[in-house]
Amino acid sequence: MKFGTRIKELRTQKGLTLDQLAQETGSAKSYIWELENKNPPRPSAEKLAAIASALGVTVDYLIGSDEQTLEKAEDTAFYREYSSLPEDTRRQIREMAKILGTKKPK
Amino acid sequence: MKFGTRIKELRTQKGLTLDQLAQETGSAKSYIWELENKNPPRPSAEKLAAIASALGVTVDYLIGSDEQTLEKAEDTAFYREYSSLPEDTRRQIREMAKILGTKKPK
DNA sequence: CATTTATGTTCGGAGTAGCGACATTTTGAA
DNA sequence: TTCAAAATGTCGCTACTCCGAACATAAATG
């Protein structure tokens, strides 16, 4: 699967417009469109990193060099972001997770 | 730390020459050299993926969006528990984290 | 309907990624 | 030492990334 398709799927799935995603990633919306629709694009790692971050996945997942499922990629990206947060915020999240986790334990 | 340095470290650590790494990654050795020494490089994701693969790391690690090692036991434990939760609960947590994370971005 | 507003698509051009060919330095065997 | 091979640097050129802004089309709004 081409990563252009992947980007488009993730973007629409999150209800984002080209413009919004472009804003968040510091790109031109025209360029995002070209990535999604034109072949074959060869974007810089910088751009891809910004896009991956905005979409909440890893670069490796986006370009398909990773056999990870989307679910796993999202979890990995989440953990990375979580790790960069200040301790008190992390603690809030952990506590909340604990509550959610025991509410309906499977 | 710049990823040029990271590449150089990994390459020499593996005892590879510029030429060898260039071979394995389908790049020109001159380009590998420029990546390692010139600033600021902005390589394509394609190239980086090939290099990361040859060096046995992820793209995300190479470009430094994966700077953190899993140091804190508490965090690691949290991630372990998080991973065991059902997807919809994980999604709730991720969304919550995103909000908390953007409230006061580090 | 006509008009506005949101979203998607096309296009020209500036600047640079990435290469090949050449230049310099380092290695190390005789 | 010597000097050829191997490794590291240098440079100019072409093709492509990425942008701004115009254009097209869909969706609201009244």
**Confidence band, pLDDT 50/70/90 cuts, at residue A106:** very low
Closest CA to A25 of A10, A39, A5: A10
**Confidence band, pLDDT 50/70/90 cuts, at residue B36:** very high
Chain B nearest CA to A87, separation (Å): 10
Whole-number pLDDT of residue A33: 95
> Which CA distances in Å does B52 have to A34, B8, B25, B49, B63?
25, 12, 9, 5, 10
Give the distance, in angstroms, between residue B33 CA and nucleotide C19 C1': 13
Q: Are B78 and A92 in contact (CB under 8 A)?
A: no
A24 or A106, which is more confident? A24
B74 or A27, which is more confident? A27
Task: Say yes or no: A60 contacts chain B, CB-CB below 8 A.
Answer: yes
A66 or A58, which is more confident? A58
Strand D bases near protein CB (under 7 Å) are 6-11, 16-22
B41 touches strand D (CB under 7 A): no
Q: pLDDT digits over B15-27, tens only?
A: 999 999 999 999 9
**Confidence band, pLDDT 50/70/90 cuts, at residue B57:** confident
> Which CA distances in Å does B6 have to A9, A37, B57, B91?
33, 33, 11, 33
Rounded CA-CA distance B78/B90 in Å is 12
**Confidence band, pLDDT 50/70/90 cuts, at residue B106:** very low
Closest CA to A70 of A18, A27, A13: A13
Report chain A's mean pLDDT, rounded to a whole number: 86
Give the global pTM: 0.78
**Confidence band, pLDDT 50/70/90 cuts, at residue B70:** very low
Q: Is B38 helix (H, G, I), strand (E, B) or coil?
A: coil
Contact B106 A92 (CB under 8 A): no
Residue A94 pLDDT > 70? yes
Which residues contact residue B97 at a Cβ distance below 8 angstroms, ignoring those fewer than 6 apart? A78, A81, A82, A85, A93
